[in-house]
Chain A
């Protein structure tokens, strides 16, 4: 079946411009995550959506970053007034509670290929 898709795959923008990154999760997955990954580094958590609960925004680095998830499916990460330090790969992941355990106990994640953002 279809995996997690992200668009665009690459985005080059000028400093100060706004960008929107899109994530289409796997159908039926109730959880959706956004991460940022700089070259050669691990994953930096940005935001987490779980069902209809209020999102966990604790990882957003500044108020220039925002995300929404419409209808419990597609998500958009928006970065306003981009800065050069925003350059990174932005990864989206979705997950679904695994049967047999407490709800949300596993959250095995399926990742998209990422969007490489370059701010000039």
Chain B
């Protein structure tokens, strides 16, 4: 059983379209992180959301942390081919010992020109 469920698993869109990726859990998290991984490389941190209801913007990317701190979303406006990659959400459940980070299975995004 995955602690963090991501959807959709695959997303294939044309350049210029908008998209949203979801990360859901039944557990409460002290924070959630989003990473992007490009082929042949390790994942790279995009953002950390900490406060329930928080919204963070990174250029065309908007990240939201749910009010109950159980879910998060990533919205990309006017997608570009450079946005192609595997998007992963991750977090440590509140109260967990040692703070081990749990990852979702990821959303593979392909943006076509």
Name the residue on B nearest A104 (C-beta).
Answer: B99
Q: Helix, strand, loop or mixed for chain A's interface?
A: loop
Contact yes or no, A48 B41, CB < 8 A: no
Query: Is A114 part of the contact surface with B, judged by Cβ < 8 Å?
Result: yes
B residues 88-112 in Cβ contact with A at 8 Å: 88, 90, 92, 98-106, 108
Are A109's CB and B50's CB within 8 A? no
Most buried by A among B43, B45, B105, B106: B43
Q: Are A107 and B50 in contact (CB under 8 A)?
A: no
Q: Which residues of A contact B30 (CB under 8 A)?
A: 101-102, 105-106
| Chain B proximity mask over A49-77: 1 for CB below 8 Å, otherwise 0 | 01001001000000000000000000000
Chain A residues whose C-beta falls within 8 Å of the C-beta of B50 in the assembled complex: 101, 106
Q: How large is the interface on B (under 10, 10 to 19, 20 to 34, 35 or more residues)?
A: 20 to 34
In the complex, which of the residues A42, A98, A101, A112 contacts B105, with contact meaning CB atoms closer than 8 Å?
Answer: A42
**Interface residue from B43, B98, B103 paired with A104 (Cβ < 8 Å):** B98
- The answer to whether A108 and B33 touch across the interface, beta carbons within 8 angstroms, is yes
Taken together as a complex, chains A and B put the C-alpha atoms of A53 and B97 apart, in Å, by: 11
Name B's A-contacting residues (CB within 8 A).
Answer: 30-31, 33, 35, 40-45, 48, 50, 86, 88, 90, 92, 98-106, 108
Which residues of A are in contact with B by a Cβ distance under 8 Å?
4, 31, 33, 35, 40-43, 45, 48, 50, 53, 56, 91, 93, 95, 97-98, 101-114
